[in-house]
Chain A
Amino acid sequence: MPTLRFNMALLQISEPGLSTAPHQHRLAVGIDLGTTNSLVATVRNGISVVLNDEHGRAMLPSVVRYAADGHVAVGESAQAAQSDDPVNTIVSAKRFMGRGLADIGDTSRLPYRFVEVPALGETGQGGMVQLRTVAGAKSPVEVSAEILKVLRARAEAALGGELVGAVITVPAYFDDAQRQATKDAAKLAGLNVLRLLNEPTAAAIAYGLDNASEGVYAVYDLGGGTFDISVLRLSRGVFEVLSANGDSALGGDDFDQRIHCWLLEKNQLSALSPQDTRLLLTLARAAKEQLTEHEEARITAVLSSGEVIDNLLTQDEFESLSKNLIQRTLQPLRRALRDAKLSVTDVKGVVMVGGATRMPQVQHAVGEFFGQTPLTNLDPDKVVALGAAIQANLLAGNRSSDEWLLLDVIPLSLGLETMGGLVEKIIPRNSTIPTARAQEFTTYKDGQTAMSLHVVQGERELVSDCRSLAKFELRGIPAMVAGAARIRVTFQVDADGLLNVAAREMGCGVEAAIVVKPSYGLSDAEITRMLQDSTQHAQDDMQARALREHQVEANQLLEAVGHALEQDGMLLEAEQRARIETQMRVLRDVLPLTDQRELKRAISALNETTVSFAQARMDKSVSLALSGKNISDLEVK
């Protein structure tokens, strides 16, 4: 008889009566908290399925309406009120997650009454924006929480029990502030976040498990409000994100906008009421969806002014309207490939995610770019939720074997300010997370007992061109000569992309650490700009870096020589001393200039002048060390 081997759990002894209950199949869900629509999925009998509401609808419109009596409507019913009550009906709240008013940019086209929240604490950065509704000011976190609450209730009703936790997806481009805001929303909705997962990565899980073929894949995710491109490598069941790029201010909504603008132009309309704007946007969306399967779409409406709109939009016309939107997705695509050091021909398959990828012109453009037909065999609206559910099931411990690892990447490099305002990158961008890197630093001055650490994010060489994340101090460093202290700085990014920085003096063990609190406010445009700047300014940066390094060197030299003169000036003859002082003056004069060559020359000139002085000091210290000792003591035994 064959022996059956079961997977055995390792148990610990409990106090009497307190044996832990084993899981009753731990209920865990994956949630795609989308800009336009949100979904919840779970793994049932080993298969990931999207959970429908009582009307059989999978997608919950990410729309929340606040009523004066405190009632909150979410989803279809809220969406239906968009035209009538645009001010209190919040759509696409995800765009405002973790954002200050300044980050949002042009708000004139949005029907909301924004409330700027004063800066938080000492960071000096603006708080997250809020929206004024009849029920009071609401933050995007609260709005998102309402959506999550509905999905949680839906899941608990469908699964018949309380959820252990959820995996919630976020665009790959979300920074710390936006990720933290998403976590906060989940907490507010009573959900335990098992992990935040990048949307394209979730889609890859959904596809990767079904197709499980090795190679490099690109995930092209054009959702309602965000565009993400990820280049992933699948090998032996392990996903690795090679690079991620995108534009989180571009999505299907923008295509609606184009049609909306086209309507305004066609009918010579200007300054519509919020109701009319909503109405036309809703119609524009319907037309866009119709054009996926039909050659043309008719748009008819009666505006509040009584004006009648009746236009026919053809697929060709729509294609030319949206041409530059699609072009805008191709640039991040090239960048992602470049970051991954791959060319188009290395890509084995292209996964399409997001409802907007149903548009024929999008599929066509992507197919043309990669020279192959993109994969569309899973519902592009559901793949992200399905993948998240698989991950949630795994994290909840419902699967024990056949485990795969999942690697996400950080979008911008993380580093530390060093002397002269230079950035020392500790974790390069596109590093897979979770990750931890450490580097040793030292003191700059003799007797330095504290060190200020400035954590920055960005690709540029100078601190002033990067984003400041946090500052903290390591105190209690034992006084030593410059360069003798060994300070180990560890950067740790957890699986959710949140950063922990710790500094430790290796000699005496003093420590300081900081969790990088989300500082709301790096806009997508900024991320994109920072990335672009870094490539455009690579040359300038190299020069600036070299200049700064020379300046630092010059300062150190001046200080050292000054110190030596003070201590051992008597070793010098007047003429010798004057020569050194002249060279010091020369160096001091060229220091503020930006002429690198001149600076270098002055440094070596001072170095040369002080050679004999250094020799004399050396002789002195040797004779000091030897004084009082009998020569026989120095004999080698």
Chain B
Amino acid sequence: MGVTLSEAAAKHVQNFIAKRGKGIGLRIGVRTSGCSGMAYKLEFADVAESDDLQFVSHDVTVLVDPKSLPYIEGMELDYAREGLNEGFQFNNPNVKDACGCGESFQV
């Protein structure tokens, strides 16, 4: 289980890391915030913390802190285009409700 990336997402992450010139992978987490309770964190990872859980999907290392994992277990990170915007999208099976803008969610 854990967290996976779609092929498109993995390709884009690799591109972004290559362009940035450094980074060991991607850090995904959640934090309490926003109008529906929780928000995703999507960052480049430069160092792995000792308690980080690591997943590898399509050659991309994904770091998740153990507190976040229950909320995003089984999630797939996808890359999508909507109109003029492109970006990463979380397909999270744990989400029960999200706010109108989709930036914040409840489990």
Which residues of chain A have a CB within 8 Å of any CB of chain B?
4, 6-19, 21-25, 397-401
Contacts and interface: CB of A to CB of B under 8 A. Distances in A.
Interface of B: 13, 16, 26-27, 31, 33-35, 39-46, 80, 82, 85-91, 95-98, 100-105
Contacts of A19: 31, 39-43
B86 A11 contact: no
A9 B26 contact: no
Contacts of B31: 19
A26 to B, nearest CB: 9
Contacts of A12: 42, 87-88
A591 B79 CA distance: 69
A478 to B, nearest CB: 36
A228 B102 CA distance: 39
30 contacts: A6-B102, A7-B100, A8-B89, A8-B98, A9-B87, A9-B103, A10-B89, A11-B40, A12-B42, A13-B16, A13-B42, A13-B44, A14-B42, A14-B44, A15-B43, A16-B27, A16-B45, A17-B43, A19-B31, A22-B33, A22-B35, A23-B34, A23-B104, A24-B34, A397-B101, A398-B100, A400-B100, A400-B101, A400-B102, A401-B100
Contacts of B87: 9-12
B26 A22 contact: no
Contact of B102 (A8, A15, A21, A399): A8
B56 to A, nearest CB: 17
A7 B102 contact: yes
Nearest to A18: B43
B36 to A, nearest CB: 9
A24 B33 contact: yes
A9 B44 contact: no
A7 B85 CA distance: 14
Given A21-B39, A23-B35, A9 B101 contact: yes
Nearest to B12: A13
B100 A22 contact: no
Nearest to B83: A10
A22 B45 CA distance: 20
A335 B46 CA distance: 66
Contacts of B104: 22-23
Contacts of A399: 100
A22 B40 CA distance: 9
B89 to A, nearest CB: 5
Shortest beta-carbon contacts, A-B, top 8? A10-B87, A22-B103, A9-B102, A6-B98, A22-B34, A7-B102, A19-B41, A9-B103
A8 B82 CA distance: 10
A15 B21 CA distance: 13
B28 to A, nearest CB: 10
Contacts of A16: 27, 43-46
A10 B9 CA distance: 12
A369 to B, nearest CB: 42
Nearest to B38: A22
Contacts of B26: 13
A13 B13 contact: yes
A17 B91 CA distance: 23
Contacts of B46: 16
Contacts of A22: 33-35, 39, 101, 103-104
Contacts of A15: 43-44
A6 B104 CA distance: 11
A398 B86 contact: no
Contacts of B98: 6-8
A25 B35 contact: yes
A7 B101 contact: yes
